[in-house]
Homo-oligomer: A and B are copies of this chain.
Amino acid sequence: MAVTICTNPFNPYEVLQAYEATYLHALRTIGATSLFIGTMRDFNEGDGVKGMTLEYYPGMTEKQLDKILLDAQNQWTLIDSLVVHRVGDIFPKEPIVLVAVWSSHRGDAFDACRFIMEALKSKAPFWKKELLLNEQERWVAKNSNGYQST
């Protein structure tokens, strides 16, 4: 289980390969890896977005993410899990968040990956301030349920 907050852009595929190289690559029990990458779009709620600044609460953010991963490990049969989250200034196309879950079985991996992502969205202390195309700044009021047109 690992939680990383990073202030610079990251390549999720390089992060995953490096993380797996430490010990997961040698395991012969992994049957399922479920991954989610959240990326910055150039639109939100009908407006064009040029960039955003992600604020967090150092200490509490890591603590809450650790609890979420532990929750997942307690609910499903997992081998390992990882969350990487950007903070600071972010621009369209850049990854914001990576969630990874390794398990022997796909059901556990799928369920846990989604659980972690939804828990992160509702509980991890991060706040997005968007810079719109018209140069106005606006705080994102709350996270959506994750579907088109809702």
Binding site for B on A (CB under 8 A): 13-14, 16-17, 25-43, 76-77, 92-93, 104-110, 113-114, 117, 144-148
30 chain-A/chain-B pairs, Cβ below 8 angstroms: A13-B13, A13-B14, A27-B93, A28-B41, A28-B42, A29-B43, A30-B39, A32-B37, A33-B35, A33-B37, A35-B35, A35-B36, A35-B37, A36-B106, A36-B109, A41-B104, A76-B148, A77-B148, A105-B146, A105-B148, A106-B117, A106-B146, A107-B145, A107-B147, A107-B148, A108-B146, A108-B147, A108-B148, A110-B113, A110-B146
For A42, list chain B residues within 8 Å (CB).
28-29
